[in-house]
Amino acid sequence: MDRKEFLINLTKSTAFVCTSCYLASCYGDENNPAAPPQNVDFTIDISQSPYSALQNVGGSVYKDGLIIARIGTNTFTALSQVCTHQGTTVQYEHNQGRMHCPNHGSNFKTDGTVINGPAASPLKKYNTSLNGTMLRVFS
């Protein structure tokens, strides 16, 4: 094999490997988005930054792989923040009463159940308990 043939083969091999890795990363998320957090148990003070958005109905924050939202005067929800379709971070849309994935348009109720896809699986839901300004989130 001469130098030119070697370089052509090397370029093709490199392109094949890079394309394979790229495609695997694109399609791997759809089949296996990040696993929801396990053994969750933490407490946050909603009167303190960065959690002060939770003082108001409609506010939300992200912590440790979860999205926590105040959905009513005394009601909170805590869900895995990762869309079950391709692993994009969901956003809380209070006026629509849902979690929304901006990537492909999946929507979830505030209890994590799917409203519409392409996501087929619900978001994992966690328990919440408010005592004064201390909000406990736990499995």
- pTM of the full predicted structure? 0.76
Residue of 108, 74, 75 lying closest to 91 (CA atoms): 108
What is the secondary structure of 41-107 as a DSSP string?
EEEEETTSTTSGGGGSTT-EEEETTEEEEEEETTEEEEEESB-TTT-PBPEEEGGGTEEE-TTT--E
CA dihedral (73, 74, 75, 76) positive or negative: positive
Q: Domain check: are 105 and 64 in the same one?
A: yes
Print the domain residue range for 97: 41-138
Q: What is the rounded CA–CA span in Å between residue 120 and residue 41?
A: 27
Q: Domain check: are 74 and 134 in the same one?
A: yes
Q: Domain check: are 13 and 57 in the same one?
A: no
Q: Domain check: are 82 and 117 in the same one?
A: yes
Q: Domain check: are 21 and 72 in the same one?
A: no
- Mean pLDDT of all residues in the chain? 85
Q: Domain check: are 75 and 104 in the same one?
A: yes
pLDDT tens-place string over residues 78-94 = 999 999 999 889 999 99
CATH number of the domain residue 49 falls in: 2.102.10.10
Q: Domain check: are 28 and 83 in the same one?
A: no
pLDDT of residue 34: 77
What is the domain count for the chain? Answer: 2
Q: DSSP state, 35?
A: P
Q: Domain check: are 94 and 67 in the same one?
A: yes
Confidence of residue 114 (pLDDT cuts 50, 70, 90): very high
